[in-house]
Amino acid sequence: MGAEEMEESEGRRGGRGPGPGSGLGSNPIPFGLRENEYAVLRDVIARYHTHETPPDHCSSIVVQRVNARVDLVWSVVSRFDKPQTYKHFIRSCTMRGDGGVGSVREVSVVSGLPATTSTERLEMLDPANHAISFRVLGGEHRLRNYHSVTTLNEFTESAKTWTVVLESYVVDIPEGNTKEDTCMFADTVVRCNLQSLAQVSEHLHRDRERHGLLPALPRR
């Protein structure tokens, strides 16, 4: 595998911070983010993904590259009432509210996981900046007081277009657990969700291309 293929493989897998619980760590560039992308996203990270982290909390940021245009990816991410579209750990979702900020969803988790339900409130929905945030209010799971922020940003370079998804979070460290273990678990969940988001969005884009609803998107 050549260097370009390795970079592509890493980009498709996404990434997390330089170490569990370290947030951005000593290196301000989140793992998996290219330097040219960071140069554009520095202010986005400062605005949306820099969290105060008390000693009994941990925080991290996960990066995912998606070979689809930002508006299409946003059409999936912004549906607070349909998280199961790309979050495969979710079995069903019911919502109270109109889908705007303050709406609350009750999520049921698939069997076999260390969770059964989650109650989550939409904290922010910013279509202009492609940013969304939710907070966990309760439920039967390990992620207590979990607060997540997700942003999408489109890049075009040398006739190639892609979307960089950043998702950061802050969460309680359960009694008896370490910061590293807590962030490793949360990172794994977020990373799986974002990889699924990439697959769903790219499939949707290819389907729209086939039906002539979108211009062909050059591959990276």
* CB contact at 8 A, 16 and 25: no
Q: Above 50 in pLDDT, residue 4? A: no
Give whole-number Cα distances, 203 to 75, 129, 161, 166, in Å. 13, 24, 15, 20
Provide the 3-class DSSP secondary structure of residue 184: helix
Q: Which residue has the higher pLDDT, 140 or 195?
A: 195
Tokens for 55?
């000693």
Q: Which residues pair with 137 in a beta bridge?
A: none
Q: Above 70 in pLDDT, residue 66? A: yes
Q: What CATH superfamily is the domain 27-210?
A: START domain (3.30.530.20)
Q: Which residues pair with 157 in a beta bridge?
A: 160
Model confidence at 207, pLDDT cuts 50, 70, 90, reads confident
Model confidence at 102, pLDDT cuts 50, 70, 90, reads very high
Q: What is the mean pLDDT of the chain?
A: 85
> Would the pTM of this model clear 0.95, i.e. be above it?
no
Radius of gyration of the chain (CA): 17
Gap between the Cα atoms of 145 and 13, Å rounded: 27
Q: Above 90 in pLDDT, residue 139? A: no
What is the separation, in whole angstroms, between the first and last Cα of the chain? 16
Q: Above 80 in pLDDT, residue 15? A: no
Q: Above 70 in pLDDT, residue 36? A: yes
Q: Above 80 in pLDDT, residue 131? A: yes
Give the model's pLDDT for residue 32. Answer: 93
**What is the pLDDT averaged over residues 204-214?**
78
Model confidence at 210, pLDDT cuts 50, 70, 90, reads confident
Gap between the Cα atoms of 157 and 167, Å rounded: 23
**What is the pLDDT averaged over residues 58-84?**
96
Residues 6+ apart with CB under 8 A from 47: none
Give the model's pLDDT for residue 220. Answer: 47
Provide the 3-class DSSP secondary structure of residue 201: helix
Residue carrying structure tokens 């290819």? 206
